[in-house]
């Protein structure tokens, strides 16, 4: 089956620093990837849609200058949280859209837990 990985799985950083999270589709090419944010005991909220070779599309209320997204290849999208603050602490999950074998499905990564001190 289609596999999506994320790195790192956990990261702790100091307030004011930047953190990069990678999302990789391991056995398929994904022209579209999605970034979600999940607060404790809450649902996933779509932050942005990442398209290979073009600018990401951000959801309303998401600061594009704070959450930088780069989708430089068909298997890799990165989310950089710039100047992180404690309120950015959350579980960040990516997904990759897979087309193939008559299916069109989003496959999710295992998530990255960010803690900002």
Partner 1 sequence: AQSVTQLGSHVSVSEGALVLLRCNYSSSVPPYLFWYVQYPNQGLQLLLKYTSAATLVKGINGFEAEFKKSETSFHLTKPSAHMSDAAEYFCAVGNGNEKLTFGTGTRLTIIP
Establish if 34 lies at the interface with partner 1 (CB under 8 A): yes
Q: Give 19 or 93: the residue with its C-beta nearer to partner 1.
A: 93
Q: Which DSSP state fits 66?
A: T
Q: Kindly write out the interface string for residues 39-68 of this chain, putting x where it contacts partner 1 by CB under 8 A and - elsewhere.
A: ---xxxxx--x-------------------
Please list every residue from 79 through 108 that binds partner 1, using CB under 8 A.
Answer: 93, 95, 97, 104-108
Q: Which of 101, 67, 64, 99 is nearest to 84 (CA)?
A: 67
Q: Which DSSP state fits 9?
A: S
Q: What angle do CA 57, 73, 77 make, to 5 degrees?
A: 50
**Interaction site with partner 1 (CB under 8 A):** 4, 6, 32, 34, 42-46, 49, 93, 95, 97, 104-111, 113
């Amino acid at each position: 089956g289609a596999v999506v990985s994320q790195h790192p799985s956990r990261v702790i950083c100091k307030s004011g620093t930047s953190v990069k999270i990678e999302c990789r589709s391991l056995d398929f090419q994904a022209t579209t990837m999605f970034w979600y944010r999940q607060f404790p005991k809450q649902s996933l909220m779509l932050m942005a849609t990442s398209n290979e070779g073009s600018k990401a599309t951000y959801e309303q209320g998401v600061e594009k200058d704070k959450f930088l997204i780069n989708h430089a290849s068909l298997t890799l999208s990165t989310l950089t949280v710039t100047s992180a603050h404690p309120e950015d602490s959350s579980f960040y999950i990516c997904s990759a859209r897979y087309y193939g074998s008559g299916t069109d499905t989003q496959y999710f990564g295992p998530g990255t837990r960010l803690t900002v001190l």
